[in-house]
Structure 1
Amino acid sequence: MQTISTLILLVLFTTLSFGQEEETGHSITVSIDNITSNEGHVLLGLHTKDTFMKGKGIQTLKSKIEDGKVKVTFKNVTPGDYAIMALHDKNDNERMDFDSNGMPQEPYGMSNNPMSFGPPQFHLAQFKVTDEDLKLAIRF
């Protein structure tokens, strides 16, 4: 009987220890407050140089828009160089839509808010995560 009790306690403690997530990095809180409508969602991707402009980032978030604003947090980000891309997905098709001439139909933005013509570039949107949490504002 004591063996069964010990086994039950062991299983219970093991289960509880796996239920708690250990934070291994920092958080990046992103706010966007100039969204022209509440339709659709905002899609955000946290990218490294290797993932930038090549699909999903290392973390992705989707946020509902309230009063033309969103605020999201990427969690457990390890130190390094990153860039964030954000898209106002007005029609909720989870991708950027383009005109026939290749121009984006939906608003988008990046960390550092670079003003550039042509495709986005990592070095313009790049920021560094070191030993503290960050707060960033992105404009569309």
Structure 2
Amino acid sequence: MNLLVKTAIICLISFLSFQTQAQETFTMTVKVEEADNNDGHIFVALYDSESGFLSQPFKASKSTIKNKACTISFENIPAGTYAVSIFHDENDNGKLDTAMFGIPKEDYGCSNGATGFMGPPEWDDAKFELKENKSITISL
């Protein structure tokens, strides 16, 4: 086999293996509504696993609030199972303030309207499948 044919075969194999490794990605948009006011920021976290839910976000962002609402988009997100949590950091200290027993003093929410009973929301209640561009709305 001559060098030109070998080179063409190697290039074709490389191209095909790259194509099988390429993964389709999507945009995940989170709309937050009904904040109490325009003070502080809204923090939004996107989680990609149950083990990291509410502790290790896959992606995170914060947004200013206008008209008691905001929108944040995460781009280039691979298909998979995700959950979203948000909180309104009214005093702008960069964290969700809590009272006695860890009860949040600032508004928060999760995808699917998930709420916890005597604790934080559960992954199974908040998770959703991302297999196309998706937009969700969370009301505080």
Q: TM-score, normalised by structure 2?
A: 0.78
Distance in 1, Cα, partners of 2:100 & 2:36? 23
Pairing of 1:1-140 with structure 2 (within 5 A): 25-49=25-49, 50-55=51-56, 57-117=57-117, 118-130=119-131, 132-140=132-140
Give the conservation status (yes or no) of the 8 Å contact 2:114–2:122: no
For these two proteins, the number of residue pairs brought into alignment is 116
The amino acid of 1:69's aligned partner reads A
CA contact (8 A) 1:41 1:62 kept: yes
Deviation at 1:24, TM superposition (A): 5.3
Decide which structure has greater helix share.
2
Structure 1: distance between partners of 2:110 and 2:137: 9
Q: CA–CA distance in 1 between the matches of 2:136 and 2:100?
A: 33
Q: State the Cα deviation string for residues 6-59 of structure 1 (Å, max 9, x = none).
A: xxxxxxxxxxxxxxxxx951001111111010000000000022321224x111
C-alpha distance in 1 between matches for 2:30 and 2:71:
6
Residue ranges of structure 1 left out of the alignment (5+ in a row): 1-22
* 4+ long deviations beyond 6 Å: none
SS of 1:123 mapped into structure 2: helix
Aligned-residue offset at 1:105? 0.4
5+ residue gaps, structure 2, are 1-22
Secondary structure of the structure 1 residue equivalent to 2:94 = coil
1:42, 1:87 within 8 Å by CA — same for their partners in 2?
A: yes
Give the 3-state SS of the residue equivalent to 1:106 in structure 2.
coil
The equivalent residue for 1:6 is: none
CA contact (8 A) 1:110 1:139 kept: no
Q: When the two structures are superposed, what TM-score results if normalisation uses the length of structure 1?
A: 0.78
User: How far has the Cα of 1:73 moved from its partner?
Assistant: 0.4
- Identity value in percent: 31
RMSD: 1.5
- Greater CA deviation, 102-111 or 113-122? 113-122
